């Protein structure tokens, strides 16, 4: 009350709040050199905790290769690219045709017998990732299979500085497998030109994250 009276009599200046300081975040130094490809989520290939996946270590159940389940049935969804919760990428006939038209090499399409027109997809060419530019979390390295049971990404992906990209039109996979235990898998990395081609071709249900270099 006294403070208010003093302000009315002009004996005390009204307190003026200090202006908020703007916080400028430093933009990452580099440029977009590739895109990480994602699709719609889809149910587990082998089940949430299924140890029957032949691509797992039989002791610690960490994935070291992806072997699609021949009995897997795709739940009908719109889109051309899907990622199961345990790290399998599934694509449609349209996606496969797109890759054949553009003559991308070192790609694997394994038909799913119970779901005609759908394929387990894998890129065999390697895109090397820099694990130091952005923090990677590495779990325990298992002695039984010499694999990390978990690798998580702490931010956007960066291309390894010593990895040379001769073109901006490609489909590769990362040298690191991300995820946890039997859900681990590599990420599919495509060229910036490739991403544009996919959109123009009309592939749906596809999403991209930037890869810096």
Output DSSP code: residue 195. H
d(CA 12, CA 14): 6
Query: Does the pLDDT value for residue 14 go beyond 60?
Result: no
Query: Does the pLDDT value for residue 115 go beyond 90?
Result: yes
pLDDT digits (tens, 9 = 90+) for 51-61: 678 888 888 88
d(CA 44, CA 130): 29
Q: What is the pLDDT of residue 20?
A: 45
Mean pLDDT of 13-29: 48
DSSP 52-70: T-TTB-TTT--BSS----T
Helix (H) or strand (E) holding 16: none
Beta carbons within 10 angstroms of residue 97's beta carbon: 11
Best mean pLDDT range from 4-13, 17-26, 123-132, 151-160: 123-132
Q: Indicate the SS3 state at residue 118.
A: strand
Name the residue ranges covered by the structural domains of the chain: 29-212
pLDDT digits (tens, 9 = 90+) for 70-106: 999 998 889 999 999 999 999 999 999 999 999 999 9
Neighbour-count burial for 148-180, b at 16+ CB within 10 Å, e otherwise = bbbbebeeebbbeeeeeeeeeebbbbbebbbbe
Which residues are bridge partners to 109 per DSSP?
Answer: 121
Q: Are 65 and 25 in contact (CB under 8 A)?
A: no
> Does pTM top 0.85 for this prediction?
no
Query: Does the pLDDT value for residue 134 go beyond 60?
Result: yes
pLDDT digits (tens, 9 = 90+) for 60-71: 888 888 999 999
């Amino acid at each position: 009350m006294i403070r208010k009276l003093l302000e009315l009599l002009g004996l005390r200046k009204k307190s003026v709040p200090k202006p908020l300081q703007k916080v400028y975040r430093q933009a990452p130094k580099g440029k977009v050199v590739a895109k990480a490809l994602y699709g719609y989520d889809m149910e587990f290939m082998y089940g949430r905790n299924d140890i029957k996946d032949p691509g797992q270590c039989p002791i610690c159940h960490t994935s070291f290769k992806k072997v699609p389940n021949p009995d897997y049935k795709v739940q009908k969804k719109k889109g051309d690219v899907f990622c199961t919760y345990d790290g399998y990428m599934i694509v449609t006939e349209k996606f496969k045709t797109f890759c054949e038209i553009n003559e991308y090499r070192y790609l694997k399409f394994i038909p799913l017998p119970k779901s005609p027109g759908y394929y387990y997809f894998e890129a065999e060419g390697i895109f090397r990732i820099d694990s130091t530019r952005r923090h990677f979390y590495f779990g325990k390295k298992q002695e039984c299979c010499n694999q990390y049971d978990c690798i998580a990404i702490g931010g956007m992906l960066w291309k390894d500085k010593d990895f040379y990209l001769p073109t901006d039109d490609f489909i590769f996979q990362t040298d690191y497998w991300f995820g946890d235990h039997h859900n681990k898998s590599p990420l599919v990395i495509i060229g910036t030109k490739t991403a544009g081609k996919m959109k123009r071709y009309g592939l749906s249900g596809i999403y991209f994250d930037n890869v810096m270099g």
